[in-house]
Amino acid sequence: MFTSQIPNEYFLSFLYFLFSIFCARSARCGLRFALLTRQIPNSRVLSRIMKTQPASLPSISGIIGACLTPFDSQGRIDYDALEKEIDFIVADADAISIAAVEAAEYTVLSLEERQELMRRATEMVDKRIPVILGASHPAPKKVIELAEYCAGLDADMVQVLMPLRPWGGQPSMQELVDYFSEVAMASPLPIVAYHNPGPGADPNMENTIQLSNIFNVSVFKESSRDIVKITRMIEEIELSGNARYFTTMQPLLMTLVMGGSGATMPPPGTRIGARVVKAFREGDQEEAKYWQRFYSMFPAKWAAYGLPPVMKSAMKHFGVDLGDPVPPFKPVTPRDHAQIGEFLRQTGLLEEGEPSKVSFSEVVANLGEEDTFIR
């Protein structure tokens, strides 16, 4: 018999894995599979079995627009501005993430505010593009609860930050595998494993590849901008069929050329990224390179502020006022706000319709050589 040829623990874990697929698919009907996962006797055995399973990858590719959280002068979420931002993102992006990246400033919100933001934003998207909602938390139990909430909103995926240890410091490989195994097996939605060193963990390449073998981890979002890492991860995660692999603005074109799925970015970076992707899909490499060059200066020239102040400043020039970063953190200075607007104007991005082609070298020269003023 076949069952006599393998160790009993492997066979039982394999049966359990098959049962997990049924439970994960049935979670929207009220099954609490999160409770069942605690009965796994040996997560290492289960993870080894999961490596052999063929992946069913989501169809998402191109640009994922990372929605910024707009705040009014009182520090409250400005939902009128949010609706305008979502319309802006939907016009260019292939999917949208909400309260899913640290640039969205979701970490300053209460759980109730975070859930309300995701609920109302998902309604505003109105199924025009796939929705990825943020479910990051250091505790797997809380991630699972958020994932179940997101499933109730009819989201398409949930994004989960690779966590640091709760007391600080990098987790071990097995700790990360156990964390994502527990979350992914219980989640009613596919998981986007989010790599963002600093607020989150920074696993090495081997550990990242191992995470891609976990059932229901369907997408990776990489933030390192490390060319060596990105090219290997695309080869061993995306092209091996384990999961989709997304990067960010600066390596977007390289990601596409090497076989990756695309990149995640906040607006108005989405407007540039959409043109890179469109040109690449049409086989126009020169056009793709033309638009990719814009990321060499934007938002890099003003990077000392961090991403939210620069992108919120830029969005004001598009007529979408997302307010300032949440207090006490400061926006860009008036001088740099004007300089950002001048850059966008000279590149033609503020024009209605298709932007005019310009000499990017001239745009850079016109910005001047002075450094941005922070304080």
3-state secondary structure the chain: CHHHHCCHHHHHHHHHHHHHHHHHHCHHHCCCHHHHHHHCCCHHHHHHHHCCCCCCCCCCCEEEEECCCCECCCCCECHHHHHHHHHHHHCCCCEEEECCCHHHCHHHCCHHHHHHHHHHHHHHHCCCCCEEEECCCCCHHHHHHHHHHHHHCCCCEEEEECCCCCCCCCCCHHHHHHHHHHHHHHCCCCEEEECCECCECCCCHHHHHHHCCCCCEEEEECCCCCHHHHHHHHHHHHCCCCCEEEECCCCHHHHHHHCCCEEEECCCHHHHHHHHHHHHHCCCHHHHHHHHHHHHCCCHHHHHHCHHHHHHHHHHHCCCCCCCCCCCCCCCCHHHHHHHHHHHHHCCCCCCCCCCCCCHHHHHHHHCCCCCCCC
pLDDT confidence of residue 354: 78
pLDDT confidence of residue 17: 54
Say whether pLDDT at 347 is over 50.
Answer: yes
The overall average pLDDT reported for the chain is: 87
Say whether pLDDT at 206 is over 60.
Answer: yes
Cβ-based burial of 4 (10 A; exposed 0-12, middle 13-18, buried ≥19): exposed
pLDDT confidence of residue 8: 58
Q: Which tops the pLDDT comparison, 97 or 354?
A: 97
pLDDT confidence of residue 353: 74
Say whether pLDDT at 12 is over 80.
Answer: no
R_g (Cα) of the chain, nearest Å: 21
pLDDT confidence of residue 16: 52
pLDDT confidence of residue 139: 97
pLDDT confidence of residue 321: 97
Q: Which tops the pLDDT comparison, 79 or 55?
A: 79
Q: Which tops the pLDDT comparison, 33 or 327?
A: 327
pLDDT in tens, 276-330: 999 999 999 999 999 999 999 999 999 999 999 999 999 999 999 999 999 899 9
Q: Dmax over Cα atoms in the chain, in whole Å?
A: 77
Q: Which tops the pLDDT comparison, 51 or 13?
A: 13
Q: Which tops the pLDDT comparison, 57 or 342?
A: 342
Measured between alpha carbons, how far is 204 from 181 in angstroms, rounded to an integer?
A: 18
Asked, as a colleague might, if the bond just before 268 is cis with ω within 30 of 0, I would say: yes
Residue with tokens 């550990």: 207
Choose the weakest-confidence range: 23-32, 204-213, 241-250: 23-32
Say whether pLDDT at 42 is over 50.
Answer: no
**pTM of the predicted model, to two decimals?**
0.85
Query: Which residues have CB under 8 Å from 369's CB, separation 6+?
Result: none
Cβ-based burial of 359 (10 A; exposed 0-12, middle 13-18, buried ≥19): exposed
pLDDT in tens, 162-179: 999 999 999 999 999 999
pLDDT confidence of residue 38: 34
Instruction: Kindly indicate the confidence band of residue 9, based on its pLDDT and cuts at 50, 70 and 90.
Output: low
Query: Which residues have CB under 8 Å from 346's CB, separation 6+?
Result: 358, 362, 363, 366
